[in-house]
Amino acid sequence: MPNIRNFSIIAHIDHGKSTLADRLIQMSGLVEDRKFRDQILDNMDIERERGITIKSQAITLPYEDKTGRTFALNLIDTPGHVDFSYEVSRALASCEGVLLLIDAAQGVEAQTLANLYAAMEHDLEVIPVINKIDLPAADVDRVREEIEIDLGLDSDTAILCSAKQGTGIEAVFEAIVHRIPPPADNNKARLRALIFDAHYDPFRGTIVSCRVFEGCVRPGDTIRLMNNNARYKVEEVGIFRLAKEARKELCAGEVGYIISGIKRVSDTRVGATITLDHEPAPAPLPGFRDIRPVVFASLYPVASDDYRALADALEKYTLNDAALTYQKDSSAALGLGFRCGFLGLLHLEIVQERLEREFDQAIVMTSPTVQYQFQLTSGDRVLVDNPLYYPDPTTILQGFEPYIRASILLPERYMGVVMELCTERRGVNARFSYPTVGRVEIRFDMPLGEVIYDFYDRLKTVTQGYGSFDYDLLDHRESDLVKLDILLNGERVDALSQIVHRDGARSRALRICNRLKEEIPRHLFKIAVQGAIGGTIIARSTIAPFRKDVTAKCYGGDITRKRKLLEKQKKGKKRMKMVGAVSIPQSAFVAVLKSENE
């Protein structure tokens, strides 16, 4: 049995995890230099376009230490953004240790701390690594101090490196093999393997990624999923190189994949334990904690007949994104769809994009919302995460909305504008601290609903990109909540309804009306766009009709061109949603979510 080390690289966003993984991969000699590209583990198009990691990615590296001992290092690169923290927590369940990266110029940040706690929960060996020491702004001493004070770790154990320039990498390798404990040797025990990820392959069915804790699994074995007792014959097992690499077996301590012709997508669940059918383990592994979505929105197919296809796509998609929760939903304007829960706004955006790109789904997404609570006159207290189910206002005694503790780290010079933004967003109870000279951290209690709207965008704008933002959920607090409806020529577009605080309702309504005016193409008739609370109109805009659209000539030579144009228009029409006689393009639903400054 080889010497195995299982570890994740964790950090705050952009601290250089994927770049460090690059260096480790390169030094292990797994990839020829000329075939190398930066952030090689970020292999999804969206990751490369956005320059961030979205999915955890495992890879097994060969390594030989100074004494000539050989190792198999199972590295998992994780995302740093808070919206993908579920990816991190699942990766950690497969590891005995972590590299905790800290950007030498940025220092310890919100996710540094959050990820450290997660690693400690799993009782993992933590190796602090100070990265980007090549930067002129690098301040290693300050970071050491933060490691001591904020993280409570021994800063003498920290390794210094520049992932970009490739310095200090040898020390990282040595720390991995010498400080991270090997996995327990449990080959003889009954098989228990934890599914930490999966994806659907149209030819081979569901392919699961797993960490084997006990026993071994080989092609030909009949495995059993302990959550539902489904049985499958194993076709192939293997490890992750840059592509999958088949092996004779996967044994305790190893991280790899299993292909077993699982065609029914719903059988597999991330967090489930795999065992052998003829020799089952007595009990499953603990699995993962349940996810608690914070942002909710509905997805609808653009063309109503595509509902089944969307259902199918979602089922497959969630194999690969366990953080997405969904259930059936329906709307008068948009037909059948799904109510989805997300871990945050970026998560929401990524889900939408991946469904469109990887599964070719044309979807309309409704305004995201948070989960509200209403105390009713009947004595009941109801949870509402969908404006469709806003209770009859006459029965509402009190409304409550979730609050967060927002913490915003920024250069001092932006303090004024950020304070203004936060109070405009109903932030209260401001507290300040000055972690380093020139930087200030502001903490606010703020409604989550204000944040999901367009807060990130606005913060980025007012701080010219220098503000970083993080939050924890606090509690539900009483709030004067109303339901804002949007009407087109008097017909309510239920998919555009929102629950908002009364004070902000009018300006929100106005903004939406103006947005829709820009996005909905002119029709043959005038369209009144109105925002209303109950029966009261609080905002309106008007889309003037177009009154001329005709070309003077149409003879033999013009007909084909004209028809092709019509066919194109018809296609475009299919992608529109009808409310009464008004066609609304998909872009209008999206635009409503965007901030006014964009």
Partner 1 sequence: MKPLGTGSDDLTGHGGDRPPSAGLYVHIPFCRQKCPYCGFFSVPSPALIRPWMKTLLKEILLYEEGFGPFDSLYLGGGTPSLLSIPELTRIMTHLRAHFQFRPDTEITLEANPCDVSPEKLWGLRELGVNRISLGVQSFDARALAFLGRRHTVRDAENAVRHVKEAGFDNISLDLIYGFHAQPLQSWKETLHQAVSFAPAHLSCYELTIENRTYFGKLVQTGGLSPLSPDEARTCFLITSRLLEAYGYTHYEISSFARPENRYARHNWKYWRHAPYLGLGPSAHSFVNGRRWWNVRSVRTYMALLNRDERPVGGVEDLTESQLRLEAVALGLRTREGVATDRIGPSMEAQSRLSHLTDAGFLEICNGRVRPTRKGFLVADYLPAYLC
Ligand X SMILES: Nc1nc2c(ncn2[C@@H]2O[C@H](COP(=O)(O)OP(=O)(O)OP(=O)(O)O)[C@@H](O)[C@H]2O)c(=O)[nH]1
**Residue 536 binds to partner 1 (criterion: CB under 8 A):** no
Q: Which two tokens stand for residue 3?
A: 């010497």
What, of partner 1, Mg ion, ligand X, none, does residue 567 touch, CB below 5 to 8 Å by kind?
partner 1
What, of ligand X, Mg ion, partner 1, none, does residue 1 touch, CB below 5 to 8 Å by kind?
none
Residues from 170 through 199 that contact Mg ion (CB under 5 A): none
Q: Quick count: other Cβ atoms within 10 Å of Cβ 117? A: 10
**Residue 352 binds to ligand X (criterion: CB under 6 A):** no
Q: Which two tokens stand for residue 164?
A: 């970009």
What, of Mg ion, ligand X, partner 1, none, does residue 11 touch, CB below 5 to 8 Å by kind?
ligand X
**Pair 510, 331: CB distance under 8 Å:** no
Q: Name which of 132 and 224 has its Cβ closer to ligand X.
A: 132
Rounded to whole angstroms, the Cα distance separating 339 from 144 reads 45
**Pair 130, 104: CB distance under 8 Å:** yes
**Residue 548 binds to partner 1 (criterion: CB under 8 A):** yes
Rounded to whole angstroms, the Cα distance separating 253 from 251 reads 6
**Residue 35 binds to partner 1 (criterion: CB under 8 A):** no
Which residues share a beta bridge with 83? none
Residues from 492 through 531 that contact partner 1 (CB under 8 A): 524-525
Q: Name which of 332 and 383 has its Cβ closer to partner 1.
A: 332
Chain residue whose CB lies nearest ligand X:
80
Provide the residue type at 346 as one letter: L
**Residue 309 binds to ligand X (criterion: CB under 6 A):** no
Q: Name which of 54 and 484 has its Cβ closer to ligand X.
A: 54
Nearest in space to 589 (alpha carbons), one of 516, 514, 526: 516
Q: Which two tokens stand for residue 409?
A: 């780290």
**Residue 163 binds to ligand X (criterion: CB under 6 A):** yes
Among 32, 136, 229, 555, binds partner 1 (CB under 8 A): 555
What, of partner 1, Mg ion, ligand X, none, does residue 562 touch, CB below 5 to 8 Å by kind?
partner 1
Q: Among the candidate windows 74-82, 89-97, 248-256, 513-521, which touches ligand X by CB under 6 A?
A: 74-82
Rounded to whole angstroms, the Cα distance separating 154 from 157 reads 6
Q: Is the dihedral of CA 314, 10, 113, 91 positive or negative?
A: positive
Binding mask 558-597 for partner 1 (x = CB under 8 A): -xx-xx-xxx-xx--x----x--x----------------
Among 6, 7, 8, 13, binds ligand X (CB under 6 A): 13
Rounded to whole angstroms, the Cα distance separating 466 from 598 reads 18
Q: Tell me the closest approach of the beta carbon of residue 17 to Mg ion, in angstroms.
A: 5
Please tell me what DSSP assigns to residue 96. S
**Pair 357, 48: CB distance under 8 Å:** no
Q: Where are the alpha helices (DSSP H) in 497-575?
A: 502-519, 559-574
Q: Name which of 344 and 387 has its Cβ closer to ligand X.
A: 344
Tokens 């804790």 -> residue:
213
Q: Tell me the closest approach of the beta carbon of residue 494 to ligand X, in angstroms.
A: 36
**Residue 162 binds to ligand X (criterion: CB under 6 A):** yes
Provide the residue type at 215 as one letter: G
Binding mask 3-22 for Mg ion (x = CB under 5 A): --------------xx----
What, of Mg ion, partner 1, ligand X, none, does residue 134 touch, CB below 5 to 8 Å by kind?
ligand X
**CB-side neighbour CA atoms (13 Å) of 273:** 20
Q: Where on the chain is the footprint of Mg ion (CB under 5 A)?
A: 17-18, 53
